[in-house]
């Protein structure tokens, strides 16, 4: 650069000037030349023009002197002649000021992204960005944007073939809201704890029991909701929406059932008799809670004895074999079973008899409720002798019954056991018959004989349930049968 300027001034001064001791000054304000300059040009509004020629014209100059300076109008560069030929200097680009870049984000997917660059006088613009974006507009826009449009966008201003330092603006494209995904729910008898998974960018969640967002309840950013006051063993549906900066999602449909109803047993599955700590299984059938095993409480007497009203509960073990009491329960004569109480057909019977505290010997009417619960018709329930076809619903399938144990399914969990019977020093029907005392005798139905009880009977070769007719009763009260207790 210094070499070229030197050549420039030497070329200017090569014309003939009168001999003088000071330089020449060219200006508009009369300022004398600088003492160090032979030729001083000074202007704040005009420049210096040297000869301007095309490349062809420059090449046609004959015997150019070293230091000859010309502006080349073909290449727009300065040309200077040296002893070895012409040399060219094109100068350095003067870059325009960089613009200030900005954008309209964050923008939701599907929306329009606007990019802006501040105005640089006389400049054009060059944008580049994610996903191959390019534009020469000062303020371009991208419609229907997707998540791939997120990232840094660069813009430069262009002037006289020179580009500014690029400016950047960071764009965020937010996804459209998506429905949450289901979590693991926690049901109980009367409530459900609903759970769902978090959605990125969610600002709030809404729930409703119907598919209607406009009436849904906002629960903030919680991803769990406890719905109370429900009915046990019932199915429920909940709809959940997610809200983000980009709107509301479609609903997530959740389904869950509450836990099984506790039934008459209150969710309990066993009973511990406080009198001897024996544990009995229990089962809810309809609105009743029954023991699911035969009672085995009391002092054991020989089968030739007679149980008596002496303040002590007494029992027989089939054939005087103690293990039969363990397997099939004790056998109780009718009066002993009801604690020598009067006959009743109340619901509940109110007769504790040989049963544990809080339990009672069921009346004939309570047995009818059980039979109705397993599906017997009113005419079958109120009939006499062998009735219906659902005895197998009550019979155990444990193998204690002698074949064929017709239609035994124990579908309701009653688990009837074939404990047989004892009377007058002999026992019979173990494995083939289950006979149960009730708190009701024939006398309840207006007949004189209070010793004729209204029993229930199941047999291995029948799928029916036996109930004696009211006018006959079943048999002598001295016969000892099994006892099943019902919760008060």
Rg (CA), the chain: 54
Beta-sheet pairing, 465-467 with 385-387: antiparallel
CA–CA gap between residue 199 and residue 183 (Å, rounded): 12
Q: Is residue 449 domain-shared with residue 355, that is, in the same domain?
A: yes
Question: For the residues of 358-385, what is the DSSP string, one character each?
Answer: TEEPPPHHHHHHHHHHTT--HHHHTS-E
- Residues 316 and 403 occupy one common structural domain: yes
CA distances from 154 to 107, 124, 301, 340, 421 (A): 18, 14, 104, 102, 100
* Residue 57 DSSP label: H
Return the pLDDT at 273: 97
Torsion sign over Cα 419, 423, 429, 435: negative
Global pTM?
0.53
Number of neighbours of residue 15 by Cβ within 10 angstroms: 7
Question: DSSP characters for 108-168?
Answer: ETTS-EEEEE---TT-EEEEEEGGGEEE-SSS-EESS--GGG-EEEEEEEEETTEEPPPEE
Q: How far apart are CA 371 and CA 171, in angstroms?
A: 74
Give the domain-ending residue among 89, 124, 147: 89
- Cβ neighbors of 21 (< 8 A, separation 6 or more) are none
Query: In the structure encoding, which two tokens stand for residue 50, read together?
Result: 């040297």
pLDDT of residue 281: 97
Whether residue 262 is contained in a domain is answered as no
- 348 in the same domain as 447: yes
Count CB-CB contacts under 10 A for residue 194.
22
Shared domain check, 197 and 168:
no
Euclidean distance between CA atoms 191 and 263, whole angstroms: 17
Is there a domain that residue 243 lies in?
Answer: yes
For residues 399 and 346, membership in a common domain is answered with yes
| 288-291 vs 113-117, strand pairing mode | unpaired
Sequential pLDDT tens for the chain (488 residues): 334 333 344 444 443 444 455 788 888 888 888 888 888 898 888 888 999 999 899 889 999 999 999 998 888 889 999 988 888 888 777 788 999 999 999 999 999 999 999 999 999 999 999 999 999 999 999 999 999 999 999 999 998 878 999 999 999 999 899 999 999 999 998 999 999 999 988 999 999 999 999 999 999 999 999 999 998 889 999 999 999 989 999 999 999 999 988 788 988 999 999 999 999 999 999 889 999 999 999 999 999 999 999 999 999 999 999 999 999 999 999 999 999 999 999 999 999 999 999 999 999 999 999 999 999 999 999 999 999 999 999 999 999 999 999 999 999 999 999 999 999 999 999 999 999 999 998 888 877 666 688 999 999 999 999 999 888 767 778 899 999 999 99
Instruction: Give, for 325, the enclosing helix (H) or strand (E).
Output: helix 322-328
Please tell me the predicted confidence (pLDDT) of residue 450.
63
Determine how many CB atoms are found less than 10 A away from the CB of residue 210.
Answer: 10
Q: Supply 99's token pair.
A: 């613009």
Residues 419 and 441 in one domain: yes
pLDDT value at residue 451: 67
Domain CATH number, residue 106? 2.60.40.10
In a domain, 143, yes or no: yes
User: How many Cβ atoms from other residues are within 10 Å of residue 278's Cβ?
Assistant: 15
Contact 290, 370 (CB under 8 A): yes
81 three-state secondary structure: strand
Domain count, the chain: 4
| 180 assigned to some structural domain | no
The token pair at 161 is: 């073939």
Domain boundary residue among 174, 207, 223? 174
Using a 10 angstrom Cβ sphere, with 0-12 exposed, 13-18 middle and 19 or more buried, the burial of residue 183 is middle
Residues 170 and 202 in one domain: no
Handedness of CA 42, 47, 50, 55 (dihedral sign): positive
Domain hosting 157: range is 101-174
Number of separate helices (H) and strands (E) present in the chain: 6, 39
Tell me: do 322 and 466 sit in the same domain: yes
Provide the 3-class DSSP secondary structure of residue 10.
Answer: helix
Q: What is the pLDDT of residue 232?
A: 87
Q: Check whether the bond before 305 is cis (ω within 30° of 0).
A: no
Residue 184: phi and psi, rounded to 5, are: -100, 120
N residues, the chain: 488
Say whether both 406 and 478 belong to one domain: yes
247 belongs to a structural domain:
yes
In whole angstroms, how far apart are CA 375 and each of 214, 382, 418, 460, 467? 46, 13, 22, 20, 16
In a domain, 179, yes or no: no
CA 24 to CA 17: how far, in whole Å?
9
Q: Are 95 and 162 in contact (CB under 8 A)?
A: yes
Q: Does residue 199 have a cis bond before it (omega within 30 degrees)?
A: no
| Per-residue confidence (pLDDT) for residue 189, from 0 to 100 | 87
Asked whether the beta carbons of 174 and 217 are under 8 A apart, the reply is: no
297/151 same-domain check: no
Question: Which residue, of 40, 67, 89, is where some domain finishes?
Answer: 89
The span from the first CA to the last CA of the chain, in angstroms, equals 116
Does a structural domain hold residue 140?
yes
Q: What is the distance between the alpha carbons of residues 332 and 335, in angstroms, rounded to a whole number?
A: 8
Ranges of beta strands (E only) in 172-231 are 173-174, 186-187, 192-195, 204-208, 217-218, 224-227
335 and 423 inside one domain: yes
Residues 240 and 316 in one domain: no
């Amino acid at each position: 650069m210094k070499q070229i300027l030197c050549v420039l001034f030497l070329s200017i001064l090569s014309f003939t000037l009168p001999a003088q001791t000071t330089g020449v000054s060219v200006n508009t304000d009369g300022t004398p030349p600088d003492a160090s300059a032979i030729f001083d040009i000074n202007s704040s509004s005009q420049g210096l023009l040297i000869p301007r020629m095309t490349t062809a014209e420059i090449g046609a100059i004959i015997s150019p002197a070293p230091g000859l300076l010309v502006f080349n109008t073909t290449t727009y560069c300065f040309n200077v002649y040296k002893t070895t030929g012409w040399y060219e200097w094109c100068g350095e680009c003067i870059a325009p000021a960089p613009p200030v870049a900005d954008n309209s984000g964050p923008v939701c997917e599907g929306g329009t992204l606007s990019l802006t660059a501040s105005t640089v006088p006389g400049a054009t613009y060059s944008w580049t960005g994610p996903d191959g974006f390019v534009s020469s507009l000062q303020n371009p826009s991208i419609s229907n944007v997707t998540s791939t449009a997120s990232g840094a966008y660069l813009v430069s201003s262009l002037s006289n073939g020179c580009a500014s330092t690029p400016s950047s603006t960071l764009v965020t494209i937010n996804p459209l809201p998506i429905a949450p995904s289901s979590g693991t729910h926690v049901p109980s008898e009367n409530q459900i704890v609903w759970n769902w998974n978090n959605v990125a960018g969610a600002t709030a969640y809404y729930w409703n029991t119907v598919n209607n967002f406009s009436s849904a309840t906002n629960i903030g950013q919680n991803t769990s909701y406890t719905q109370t006051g429900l009915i046990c063993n019932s199915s429920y549906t909940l709809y959940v929406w997610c809200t983000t900066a980009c709107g509301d999602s479609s609903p997530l449909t959740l389904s869950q059932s509450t836990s099984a109803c506790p039934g008459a047993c209150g969710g309990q599955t066993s009973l511990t008799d406080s009198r001897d700590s024996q544990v009995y299984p229990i089962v809810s059938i309809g609105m009743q809670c029954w023991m699911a095993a035969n009672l085995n409480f009391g002092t054991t007497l020989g089968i030739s004895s007679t149980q008596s009203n002496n303040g002590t509960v007494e029992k027989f073990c089939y054939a005087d074999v103690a293990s039969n009491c363990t397997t099939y329960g004790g056998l109780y004569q009718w009066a002993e079973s009801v604690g020598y109480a009067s006959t009743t057909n109340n619901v509940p019977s109110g007769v504790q008899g040989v049963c544990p505290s809080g339990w009672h010997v069921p009346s004939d009417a309570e047995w009818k409720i059980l039979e109705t619960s397993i599906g017997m018709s009113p005419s079958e329930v109120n009939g006499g002798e062998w009735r219906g076809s659902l005895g197998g619903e009550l019979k155990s399938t444990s193998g204690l019954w002698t074949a064929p144990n017709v239609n035994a399914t124990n579908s309701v969990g009653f688990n009837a056991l074939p404990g047989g019977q004892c009377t007058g020093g002999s026992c019979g029907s173990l494995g083939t018959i289950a006979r149960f005392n009730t708190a009701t005798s024939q006398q309840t139905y207006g007949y004189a004989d209070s010793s004729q009880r209204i029993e229930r009977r199941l047999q291995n070769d029948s799928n029916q349930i036996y109930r004696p007719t009211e006018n006959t009763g079943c048999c002598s009260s001295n016969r000892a049968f099994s006892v099943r207790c019902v919760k008060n």
